[in-house]
């Protein structure tokens, strides 16, 4: 918008520019360093930490996938994330619709009851959730974990979706009703298409939080074959034998970052806009 330079920058603006550039370097350099280090051999890494790899080879990635099973963690992460998003919408969409667009007794109370969940965190409810799943022998089960992800993020997502739905004019719905649409059709054919940019933000936030989740997954998934990327990576770091294989570790780090990085590059406009629409995530 108004970013046109009127003449030259003042000395003050140069100071600000330098300050910003240094901070940007502090943010970006560790990531850049992780990226190029993932192509260095272990000897190169120990020899000089700053230097670029002499040869950009994929050996570290091959080891990360073959020995450290990063590939199977990757597939688990995708499966878990998609399923959790599906569960979340199955439950959250109708609830958000009902709470934002229908009038009935106790509506406000129920909404407030749901919203109070935004202040409760799985970092401590993980204990009772673990005990509960252990009792019914449902630990080490990805669909169940996906369901728990959906359930524990329901409050926040209903809050966001109800906010988006509230802004839709009643006329569209009335028209659909005259055409004989039922509730589910109204949600699918009117509400969802009309709030798609908002729902896109919901999907993004949900993707990020499920893809990166650690505490619950780490507690519930004890079977290595079921681990997701963050859990597998943390595990990789802990196992001593891999701690000395820097290369595979860095290759693993990059593998976890790539999908979020790609998503970020393509959608950062929506994401940053979402921050101002959706406000805060818990």
Partner 1 sequence: MTSLKPKLGTRQLFIVFGLGIPLVVYCLFVVGPTLSIFLESLFRWNGLSPNKKFVGLKNYTDLFGNPMFLSAISHTVFLLLVSTAVTMGIAIFFAVTLVQSRLPERGIFRVMFFFPNVLSVVVIGIIFRYVYAPNTGILNSALEAFGIEGPIWLGDARTVLWAISGAMVWQAMGYYMLIYMAGLDDIPPSLYEAADLDGASKFRQFIHITIPMLWDIIRVTLVFYIISSLNLSFTFVRIMTDAGPNKASEVLLTFMYDQAFENGNFGYAMAAAFVIFVLSFGLALLSDKLTERKDF
- 159-218 binders of partner 1 (CB under 8 A): 182-183, 208, 211-212, 214-215
Applying the rule CB under 8 A, the residues between 232 and 251 that interact with partner 1 are 233-234, 237, 249
d(CA 13, CA 281) in angstroms, rounded, equals: 33
User: H helices within 102-214, ranges in order?
Assistant: 107-115, 122-135, 142-152, 154-166, 170-178, 183-186, 192-194, 196-212
Per CB under 8 A, contacts with partner 1 among 99-118 are 99, 102, 104, 110, 114, 117
Residue in the block written with tokens 């401590």? 124
Which CB atom, from 72 or from 259, has the smaller least distance to partner 1?
259
Nearest approach, Cβ of 100 to partner 1 (angstroms)? 12
Angstrom distance (rounded) from CA 187 to CA 162: 12
Candidate list 51, 197, 244, 268; residue touching partner 1; CB under 8 A: 268
- Options 64, 68, 148, 190; binder of partner 1; rule CB under 8 A: 148
Cα torsion angle, 126, 275, 158, 110, sign = positive
Task: Name the minimum Å distance from CB 208 to partner 1.
Answer: 5
- Map the footprint of partner 1 across residues 56-75, applying CB under 8 A: none
Q: Which is nearer to partner 1, 71 or 182 (CB)?
A: 182
Query: With binding defined as CB under 8 A, does residue 23 bind partner 1?
Result: yes
> Which of 125, 141, 163, 270 is in the footprint of partner 1 by CB under 8 A?
125
Q: Interface with partner 1 by CB under 8 A: which range of 53-61, 78-86, 165-173, 261-269?
A: 261-269
Q: Which is nearer to partner 1, 83 or 256 (CB)?
A: 256
**Distance between CA 130 and CA 149 in Å, rounded?**
13
Angle, helices 70-101/246-278, rounded to nearest 10 degrees:
10
Give the integer Cα–Cα distance in Å for 73 and 83.
15
Closest Cα to residue 216, out of 142, 137, 116, 113? 142
The torsion angles phi and psi of 12, rounded to 5 degrees, stand at: -60, -40
Stretch that binds partner 1, among 58-66, 78-86, 130-138, 191-199 (CB under 8 A): 130-138
């Amino acid at each position: 918008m108004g970013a046109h330079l009127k003449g030259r920058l003042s000395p003050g603006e140069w100071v600000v520019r330098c300050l910003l550039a240094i901070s940007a370097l502090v943010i970006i350099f560790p990531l850049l360093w992780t990226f190029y280090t993932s192509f260095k051999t272990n000897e190169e890494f120990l020899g000089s930490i700053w230097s670029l790899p002499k040869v950009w080879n994929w050996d570290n990635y091959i080891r990360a996938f073959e020995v450290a099973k990063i590939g199977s963690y990757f597939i688990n992460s995708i499966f878990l994330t998609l399923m959790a998003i599906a569960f979340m919408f199955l439950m959250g969409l109708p609830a958000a619709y009902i709470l934002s667009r229908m009038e009935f007794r106790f509506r406000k109370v129920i909404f407030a009851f749901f919203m109070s969940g935004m202040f409760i965190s799985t970092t401590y409810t993980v204990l009772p959730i673990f005990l509960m799943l252990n009792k019914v022998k449902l630990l080490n089960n990805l669909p169940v974990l996906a369901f728990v992800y959906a359930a524990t993020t329901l409050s926040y997502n209903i809050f966001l979706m109800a906010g988006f739905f509230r802004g839709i004019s009643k006329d569209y719905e009335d028209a659909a009703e005259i055409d004989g649409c039922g509730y589910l059709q109204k949600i699918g054919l009117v509400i969802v298409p009309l709030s798609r940019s908002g729902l896109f933000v919901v999907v993004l936030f949900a993707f990020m939080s499920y893809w990166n989740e650690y505490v619950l997954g780490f507690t519930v998934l004890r079977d290595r074959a079921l681990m997701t990327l963050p859990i597998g990576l943390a595990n990789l770091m802990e196992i001593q034998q891999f701690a000395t294989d820097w290369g595979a570790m860095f290759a693993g780090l990059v593998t976890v970052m790539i999908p979020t990085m790609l998503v970020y590059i393509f959608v950062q406009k929506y994401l940053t806009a979402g921050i101002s629409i959706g406000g805060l995530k818990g």
